[in-house]
Amino acid sequence: MAEVLVLVDHVEGTPKKVSYELLTLARELGTPSAVVLGKGASAAAEKVAAYGAETVYVSEDETIDSALVGPKAAVLAELVSSKSPVAVLVPSNAEGKEVAARLAVKTGSGLITDAVGLSSELVAEQPIFGGSVTVQSKVATGTPIVCVRPNSTAPSEAAGAGTVEQVSATFSDTDTAAKVVDRVVEDKGGRPDLGDASVVVSGGRGLGGAENFALVEKLADTLGGAVGASRAATDAGWYPHQQQVGQTGRTVSPQLYIAVGISGAIQHRAGMQTSKTIVAINKDPEAPIFELADYGLVGDLFTVVPQLTEEIQKRKG
């Protein structure tokens, strides 16, 4: 069967969940090969083999982490040229999309981003306009490069050979022109990343102040979820901007999205509308968020949220 390249998103050799999802999807299309690049890449080999990777292309070249995006695209371009894969799957997050974009230019290929499904004929499904229209699209030129959103497929294990092959690439001046001189981690309390999380609990204007985000955080932690915020909340400085869910922030589509004190302006809905199950808690029965909630509770979040957190803790024993 034809080879499908999957770019693995990882932190020092620990793949993010989306990488396993993409490997699971790749098994439907052909023989999955994982491409793991950067610091700690070798450590990921066994882990990606457990999700079906027959070959694991590895490079720990320091340039990959010291320059932004370009080197990753260069390694992938060499693999596309030498292995002639039927498709390249890349996580549809900020960096993944940029790697894919540069790879598309380098290989003269078409590019699809934000796919939530991919058929065996390589027709991708994309929700657009905040999920109000579903598009089927395909790449007509070169090697299909498809960015797939996290939470699009349930990851399932299937043992692959996981044969490690070291790869290298020559980097042009353009590939290394943007130098990463520092990486700063701001505290986020060890929660999963917003884009990757199966559960997202978001807070909005109804919280009334930064200090009350503790309620949202506690509920999120009980569910093992990430914390999001509406634009009203980030604009007010109650929560960090990078946690904003919405049109000018992040797009999430978790299994469960809980909106706490969020009215549900279109700005916000554009970022969470494709969530599988939506629960809303708001004191205003007219809040537009209730139009898309699978379960809506009209009530005071300051009593409902602690009760919900406690009830879930109880059920978890």
Partner 1 sequence: MNIVVLVKQVPDTWAERKLDATDKTLDRASVDVVMNEIDEYAVEEALQIQEREGGEVTIVSMAPDRGVETIRKALSMGADKAVHLVDDALKGSDALQTSAALAKVLGTLEYDLVICGSEATDSRMAVMPALLAERLGVPQLSGARKVTVEGGTVRIERQTENGYDVVEGATPAVVSVVEKINEPRYPSFKGIMAAKKKPLTTLALADAGIDASEVGLASAPSQVVDFANKPPRQAGEIVKDEGDGGTKIAEFLAAQKLV
- Residues numbered 54 to 83 that lie near partner 1 (CB under 8 A) are 68-70, 73
> What part of residues 255-274 is at the interface with partner 1 (CB under 8 A)?
255-256, 266-267, 270, 273
Cβ burial of 236 (10 Å; 0-12, 13-18, 19+) is middle
Using the minimum distance from each CB to partner 1, give the nearer residue, 48 or 100. Answer: 100
Per-residue mark of binding to partner 1, 150-189 (x: CB under 8 A):
-----------------------xx--xxxxxxxxxx-x-
Per-residue mark of binding to partner 1, 84-103 (x: CB under 8 A):
---------xx--xxxxxx-
Using the minimum distance from each CB to partner 1, give the nearer residue, 168 or 315. Answer: 315
Distance CA 88, CA 100 (A): 9
- Neighbouring CB atoms inside 10 A of 25's CB total 21
Q: Which stretch binds partner 1 (CB under 8 A): 20-28, 53-61, 162-170, 277-285?
A: 277-285
> What part of residues 26-55 is at the interface with partner 1 (CB under 8 A)?
none
Q: Is 192 helix (H, G, I), strand (E, B) or coil?
A: coil
Joined together, the tokens standing for residue 54 give 């027959």
> What part of residues 135-154 is at the interface with partner 1 (CB under 8 A)?
135-142
Q: Give, rounded to a whole angstrom, the gap between the first and last alpha carbons of the chain.
A: 47
What is the DSSP annotation of 284-308? -TT-GGGGT-SEEEES-HHHHHHHH
Q: Is 30 helix (H, G, I), strand (E, B) or coil?
A: coil
Question: Identity (one letter) of the amino acid at 269?
Answer: R
> What part of residues 206-225 is at the interface with partner 1 (CB under 8 A)?
223
- Answer for which of 14, 81, 84, 134 binds partner 1 (CB under 8 A) is 134
Q: Cβ(210)–Cβ(238) under 8 Å?
A: yes
Distance CA 274, CA 131 (A): 6
Residues in contact with partner 1, counted by CB under 8 A, come to a total of 96
Using the minimum distance from each CB to partner 1, give the nearer residue, 60 or 193. Answer: 193
Q: Which stretch binds partner 1 (CB under 8 A): 32-40, 49-57, 79-87, 276-284?
A: 276-284
